[in-house]
Amino acid sequence: MKPVQSRLVDQTAAEAMQSVLEGLREELDDHRDAINENTNELQSSHEYIRTVEEKMDKLQARLEELFLIVTGTSTEQKVEIQPLTKKEQEVFQALYLVGEGVPFVSYKQLARKLGWSEALISGFITNIVEKGVPVMKKYDAGQAFVQLEQKFRQKQAKDVVIGLNSLLSHWMPAPQVPKSQP
C-alpha cells in the first residue's frame, strides 16, 4: 500500500471508531437518564406509600374509637410486662423521652442519649420486647427505628402522673384549718 492509501485507511478506521464511541456514549447517556427517571419514580412511590401508611394508621385509630363507642368495650388487650432490669429501665425511659413528639427513634439517637453503643441499645430493646413491652420497630434505608405503641405510651403517662401525684400529696403538709376564736 502506498502511504496516502495507508493514511486514508487509518483516517477511515479512526472515523469509524469515533462513530462507534459516539454511539456508545449516546446509549450510555440514555441508560443513565432512564436510571435517573426510575430512581425518581421509586422515590415518589416510596413517599406516596408512607403517606398512605400514615393515613391507614389514623383510620385504624379512628375505627378503634368507633368500635369502642358502638360496643362500649375496648379492643385493647391487657399487657403483662415482666420486671425490667435497671439498664432496661434506662433504655425504656430514654425511648419514652426521646420518642416524645416524634414518630420513631433510631438506635443512634438512643445511644447518643445514654452514651452507649448502638449494639448495646439493640440488645436492650430486644430484651424489653421479650419482656412484653409493646415496641414497634421499622427499618428505613437499613437503619432500625423504634417507638412505644401509642396506647401503651398514653397509659404509661397516665399511670406515672397518677403515681406522681399520690407521692407528692403524701409529702405535702395537710392544710391547716384556722381555729375559731371565742
Of 75, 105, 124, the residue that ends a domain is: 75
The 8-class DSSP code of residue 115 comes to: T
- Is 180 contained in some domain? no
What is the C-alpha to C-alpha distance for residues 72 and 66, in angstroms, rounded to an integer?
A: 9
Q: Any idea how long the chain is?
A: 182
Give the tens place of pLDDT for each residue, 84-100.
899 999 999 999 888 88
- Looking at the fold, whether 117 and 154 belong to one and the same domain comes out as yes
What is the residue range of 133's domain?
Answer: 86-168
How many domains does the chain contain in total? 2
Q: Does residue 169 surpass a pLDDT of 50?
A: no
Q: What separation in angstroms does the CA of 41 have from each of 33, 36, 48?
A: 12, 9, 10
Instruction: Provide the pLDDT confidence category of residue 164 given band limits of 50, 70 and 90.
Output: very low
Q: Pick the last residue of a domain from 75, 94, 114.
A: 75
- pLDDT tens-digit map of 101-151: 888 999 999 999 999 999 999 999 999 999 988 899 888 888 889 998 888
Say how many CA atoms lie within 13 Å of 122 toward its Cβ.
7
- Say if residue 33 is in the same domain as residue 70: yes
Contact between residue 134 and residue 148 where contact means Cβ atoms under 8 Å apart: yes
97 and 126 share a domain? yes
Type of residue found at 6: S
Indicate whether 60 and 109 sit together in one domain. no
| 63 and 93 belong to one structural domain | no
Q: Which of 69-83, 130-144, 153-167 has the lowest mean pLDDT?
A: 153-167
The one-letter code for the residue type at 173 is P
> Do 112 and 152 sit in the same domain of this protein?
yes
- Alpha-carbon distance 169 to 148, whole Å? 29
Q: Is 1 a domain residue? A: no
- pLDDT reported for residue 15: 87
% the chain with pLDDT above 70: 79
Among 58-67, 156-165, 168-177, name the most confident range: 58-67
In a domain, 149, yes or no: yes
**Residue 77: per-residue pLDDT:** 56
**Do 90 and 48 share a structural domain?**
no
At position 54, the amino acid (one-letter code) is E
Task: Give the pLDDT of residue 167.
Answer: 41
What would the pLDDT profile of 7-42 be if each residue is shown by its tens digit? 777 788 888 899 999 999 999 999 999 998 888 888
